[in-house]
Copies of this chain bind each other. A is one copy, B any other.
Amino acid sequence: MTNSAADNQQAIAEIERGTEEILKLGDLTTRLSEDRPLRVKVGFDPTAPDLHLGHTVILNKMRQFQQMGHTVIFLIGDFTGMIGDPTGKNVTRKPLTREQVDANAQTYKDQVFKILDPETTEVRFNSEWTTPLGAEGLVRLSAQYTVARMLERDDFENRYKSGQPIAIHEFLYPLVQGYDSVALQADVEMGGTDQKFNLLVGRHLQQQAGQKPQVIITLPLLEGLDGVQKMSKSLDNYVGIDEPAAEQFGKIMSISDELMWRYFELLSFRPLTEIQGLRQAMADGHNPRDIKFELAGEIVARFHSQAVADAARAEFIARFQGGAMPEDIPEKTLDTDGEGIGVVTALSRCGLTASNSEGFRMIQQGGVKIDGEKISDRSLVLSAGFSGVLQVGKRKFCRVNVS
């Protein structure tokens, strides 16, 4: 750890990288100059984690703090997790048992310690201090906040105004989260932009408890591979951190050049100065594909190894740039009773496109090949007896037999 003014300025610049908001920046500067490990808190849901790159934005920020000598607290919200959604309306929030929480915590650790340093990570469970509060303590806690202020939270306000029910326990969860900051004496709490209100409750409760209010840092939601919607499993625009290397590499190579820079900012561990150098290289005519190789290679190496990343890159080049096809193409037989099948329908039945309209569009854009040959006829029919490889874009293949 260091506290020279210049180093602090450098530290602040890295911490600000990719953040949405830091409140208050001046307080952060002050605390960074205190020459002690700050306590940086981030809360996680105790439900079964299956992390993708979107989740790693905040883990990367935690890692930055660790590299500056600070302590990060990986807080698992088991108190609320073991209650679930008591209204019973939310079937995805069933109460977890202690065993499930512990198993999920282990799964978390297996994944996040690919990014975080276990030595300076405190893994904590908030039931440790919320259960001993008791009913009495929870009443006292809830006396420290008003109904009106709680209803200022955007989603509460909208639901209240539109007549959608808010169960009273929903007012207690932000207070519990805020109390976690008091119990942990957090210097900093980070979360997604949707967490801002709850992070502010933590500041309020810390002040009530006579502590200095934590600095809050909000981080954006990472865009998925489409560059538009947030990365999520359900939108199938994600890169899972436990996915095979070739899959990860190929997915990252499929993003737009613009999105590449966003990913460099939020996902790469390279210093800002180095990324600025890469931008300059592209402006000077360097091939964007080669710069994307750097990004894909770095991320694959993080979750696998440098050797595996190098191999994924070599395979990628051999497969797509040499025009070769991958070795393990899935095979599908389409039974048409001898009548044959339209190519658009065939693409969809092979799972290469999500809909017929996507098939038409891909053909129009020149993104569909049969046995390596681009096709342009949307009304093409594959006759019974046809056998060949359909390809959509650079990475989707299917060997089709029509019968």
Q: Which residues, 59 to 115 on A, are CB-close (under 8 Å) to B?
A: 79-80, 82-83, 85-87
A138 surroundings in chain B (CB, below 8 A): 135, 138-139, 172
Complex: A173 Cα to B166 Cα, angstroms: 18
**CB–CB B148/A165 < 8 A:** yes
Which of A126-134, A274-282, A384-392 sits within the interface? A126-134
A134 surroundings in chain B (CB, below 8 A): 131, 134-135
B86, B87, B135: the one within 8 Å of A135 (CB):
B135
**Is A160 interfacial (CB 8 A cutoff)?**
yes
Complex: A142 Cα to B86 Cα, angstroms: 9
Q: How far is the CB of A27 from chain B (nearest CB, A)?
A: 27
**CB–CB B175/A146 < 8 A:** no
**CB–CB A166/B147 < 8 A:** yes
A172 surroundings in chain B (CB, below 8 A): 138-139, 142, 168
Residue of B nearest to A140 (CB): B86
**CB–CB A160/B148 < 8 A:** yes
Kindly name the residue among A80, A136, A142, A171 whose own CB sees the greatest number of chain B CB atoms within 10 A: A136
Residue of B nearest to A175 (CB): B168
Q: Which residues, 240 to 298 on A, are CB-close (under 8 Å) to B?
A: none
Q: How far is the CB of A355 from chain B (nearest CB, A)?
A: 40
B133, B143, B165: the one within 8 Å of A168 (CB):
B143
Q: How far is the CB of A236 from chain B (nearest CB, A)?
A: 34
**CB–CB B165/A87 < 8 A:** no
What 20 new A-B contacts, CB under 8 Å, besides A142-B171, A147-B171? A82-B136, A83-B136, A83-B140, A85-B143, A86-B140, A86-B144, A130-B135, A131-B134, A134-B134, A135-B138, A138-B139, A138-B172, A140-B169, A145-B168, A147-B151, A147-B166, A147-B168, A148-B160, A148-B163, A150-B168
Give me the interface of A with B, judged by CB distance under 8 Å: 79-80, 82-83, 85-87, 130-131, 133-140, 142-148, 150-151, 156, 160, 163, 165-173, 175
Provide 28 A-B residue pairs closer than 8 Å at the C-beta atoms, listed in order of the A residue: A79-B135, A79-B136, A82-B136, A83-B140, A85-B143, A86-B143, A86-B144, A130-B135, A131-B134, A131-B135, A133-B135, A135-B137, A135-B138, A138-B139, A138-B172, A142-B169, A144-B167, A145-B167, A145-B168, A146-B166, A146-B167, A147-B160, A147-B168, A147-B170, A147-B171, A148-B160, A148-B166, A168-B172
Smallest CB-CB A-B distances: 7 pairs = A86-B143, A142-B168, A143-B169, A142-B169, A86-B140, A147-B166, A135-B138
